[in-house]
Amino acid sequence: MDQSKIRNFCIVAHIDHGKSTLADRMIEKTGVLTLREMQNQVLDNMDIERERGITIKSQAVRMIYKAKDGQEYTFNMIDTPGHVDFGYEVSRSLAACDGAILVVDATQGVEAQTLANVYMALDHDLDVFPVINKIDLPSAMPQEAKDEIEDVIGIEAQDAPLISAKNGIGIEEVLEAVVHKIPAPQGDASAPLKALIFDSIYDSYRGVIVFVRIKDGVVRKGMKVRFMATGAEAEVVEVGYFAPGSFVPSDELTAGEVGYFTASIKNIQDTRVGDTVTDSAKPCSEALPGYKKVMPMVYCGLYPADSAHYSDLRDALEKLQLNDASLFYEPETSQALGFGFRAGFLGLLHLEVVQERLEREYDLNLVTTAPSVVYKVHKTDGEVFDLTNPTNLPDPSEIDYMEEPIVNGEIMVTTDYVGAIMQLCQERRGKYLSTDYIEQTRAILKYELPLNEIIYDFFDALKSRSRGYASFDYELKGYEKSDLVKLDILINREEVDALSFIVHKDGAYERGRKMCEKLKEEIPRHLFEIPIQASVGGKVIARETVKAYRKDVLAKCYGGDITRKKKLLEKQKEGKKKMRQIGNVEVPQSAFLSVLKLDNVD
């Protein structure tokens, strides 16, 4: 294929600025799909994305566009996630592109993640051009948005297409701009195969489906390929393109193209995202630079609700990791929850997304423990180790001191809510750095915040205290010494390891009290009284009591309708099954989750 007629690009935007809608319209206009076939949002085919209106898993789609110059162009659009937690996935998608469309909401202007994503695109040497979306809204300020893009980001924006993706305004202009502003790929089709794996999924019939961008050379059916990082080799069974929602087989993929291949690969560890694929018979001299390795920031325990499903959970995590390389996990055991995994995530949203994917796509019922960041523990004997599970904290007498991760946080907020947000940051042990006014009505607040203060419900609190107007971005600054303690929860005098967590000494009482209150609501009454206690270093600092119930009778049972009574008992029994046995106490799964969201103030 003539590379000059190929455009590989992605769309970057702040969350909610209309990226997926624009993608849908472009697919529609290029005629790959009829209107009737269009689902509401073609690219976001995962339920959870549709519900939350965010795009999580990157995907690619190929379209044919007949431009005003009369030529047909092949567009490969690679969808990228919009959330800060998914910076890693954005990065791997960008590596497969030559340019990017930046979508900016005409009513919102440049937001924190707009910046983060654009800088990442520029880092990958992509050519970026902006489009101004939602221009049909009454509150749209397209000129201000253009000026802001030039001022804040520093890219040319005056001739940016003014569009409404929702109402299909200006889409043609965007398609033309892709042709003219995004460079054609510059690969060498006659060189040895060099292809970048930017994603992969597992299919039970075809094995691993590898998503590739061909940099040089050709890949075709029957060819023997080698994965350069792992050294694995396989024979290509099928190659093809991405149509929206489906795979379209073709004869070959050549330099500059984006597509997929299968090779009956059963071992998903063989095909690492970021690895380079080459021709076994005629390998290229060196691999493409891989992606930047990302470190998980947040850890939590993942346990099957029913311990019989441990191996199902393991298989699911294995498959999930295949197309979410940022997911880390290793086996662990909990006294309260049995066999499970300690998993590492990029952030709390990433955690929630993985959890929901496991539950929805793999039909698993999970119990998640309180998320924890990675602490550095300096022991008196000089040893230093990373603590990812609070349960593993040594006895206080063996600890010299501990350090916790600190992030540089940037909160963009309208000036009305600056006071409220500053107060929130103070409550979360934030260290104020500066306030920059980007325009009269908006400011960027800069704070140093301990990561463990933002992993629980900081986003929720931020949204509620700014009525949704604040956005937040952060990056790891480093570790700082901190006065931390382990807070333990005892249910009926038994310590529940899955509920232990590390907290700053000053916040221990408050958090312990709230956890006890929450658990009191969650734990059903039993035949006996149940004390719920929070303790630090063996000293109880808060207590609640679940009173014993004294009555559980179905008094009236009428006309011999036994079935109804049995159903009631079955429901009672079924409810019990979903409980975790801690000593004599049955604790519902929801209790483990509820303590993650304690600060639902006002």
Partner 1 sequence: MLTETMSLYVHIPFCARKCNYCDFLSFNAEKELMDEYFDALEKEISKSGRDCKDRTVATIFFGGGTPSFADEKRVCGLLQKIRDGFNVSDDAEISIEVNPASAMRDKLFSYREAGFNRLSIGCQSLNDDELEILGRLHNSSMFIETYNNARAAGFNNINVDVMSALPGQSLDSYVNTLNRVLGLKPEHISAYSLIIEENTPFYDMDLDIPDEDTDRAMYHETKRILKEQGFHRYEISNYALGAEDDDTFECHHNKVYWQRGNYLGLGLGAASMVDNVRWSNTRDIGTYVKELADAESSFAKIRENVEELSCAAQMEEFMFLGLRLVKGVSVENFKENFGKSIFEIYGEVIDKYRDMGLLECAGDGGKYLRLTDKGLDVSNTVMAEFLL
Residue 195 contacts residue 215 (beta carbons within 8 Å): yes
Applying CB under 8 A, among 231, 293, 559, 602 the residue interacting with partner 1 is: 559
3-state SS, residue 364? coil
Q: Is 577 in the site for partner 1 (CB under 8 A)?
A: no
Q: Is 558 in the site for partner 1 (CB under 8 A)?
A: yes
User: 510 to 539, contacts with partner 1 by CB under 8 A?
Assistant: 527
Applying CB under 8 A, among 68, 282, 566, 597 the residue interacting with partner 1 is: 566
Nearer to partner 1, 125 or 561 (CB): 561
List CB contacts of 196: < 8 A, sequence separation 6 or more: 95, 96, 212, 213, 215, 274, 276, 277, 288
> Which span sits near partner 1 by CB under 8 A: 48-56, 408-416, 446-454, 570-578?
570-578
Query: Shortest approach of partner 1 to residue 527 CB, angstroms?
Result: 6
Dihedral angle, C-alpha 134, 136, 140, 141, nearest 10 °: 100
Q: Check residue 192 and report its DSSP letter.
A: P
State the DSSP string of 454-508.
HTTTHHHHHHHHTTT--EEEEEEEEEEEE-EEEEEEEETTEE-GGG-EEEEGGGH
Query: Shortest approach of partner 1 to residue 308 CB, angstroms?
Result: 18
**Which strand (E) or helix (H) includes residue 411?**
strand 399-414
Q: Is 400 in the site for partner 1 (CB under 8 A)?
A: no
Kindly state the number of chain residues that form the binding site for partner 1, as judged by CB under 8 A.
24
Query: Shortest approach of partner 1 to residue 582 CB, angstroms?
Result: 17
Measured CA to CA, the distance from residue 88 to residue 11 in angstroms comes to 16
> Which span sits near partner 1 by CB under 8 A: 151-159, 244-252, 402-410, 567-575?
567-575
Query: Shortest approach of partner 1 to residue 543 CB, angstroms?
Result: 22
Applying CB under 8 A, among 137, 295, 384, 557 the residue interacting with partner 1 is: 557
Q: Is 556 in the site for partner 1 (CB under 8 A)?
A: yes
Measured CA to CA, the distance from residue 501 to residue 517 in angstroms comes to 16
Closest CA to 174 of 166, 184, 185, 165: 165
Applying CB under 8 A, among 433, 549, 597, 601 the residue interacting with partner 1 is: 549
List CB contacts of 64: < 8 A, sequence separation 6 or more: 30, 31, 32, 72, 73, 74, 75
> Which span sits near partner 1 by CB under 8 A: 279-287, 364-372, 404-412, 554-562?
554-562
> Which span sits near partner 1 by CB under 8 A: 28-36, 175-183, 503-511, 569-577?
569-577
Applying CB under 8 A, among 267, 572, 581, 600 the residue interacting with partner 1 is: 572
Beta strands in 310-373 (DSSP E): 328-334, 338-345, 366-368, 372-373
Closest CA to 11 of 227, 178, 252: 178
Query: Shortest approach of partner 1 to residue 518 CB, angstroms?
Result: 23
Applying CB under 8 A, among 72, 293, 440, 555 the residue interacting with partner 1 is: 555
Residue 236: what residue type? Answer: V
The contact set with partner 1 (CB under 8 A) reads 527, 549-563, 565-566, 568-570, 572-573, 576
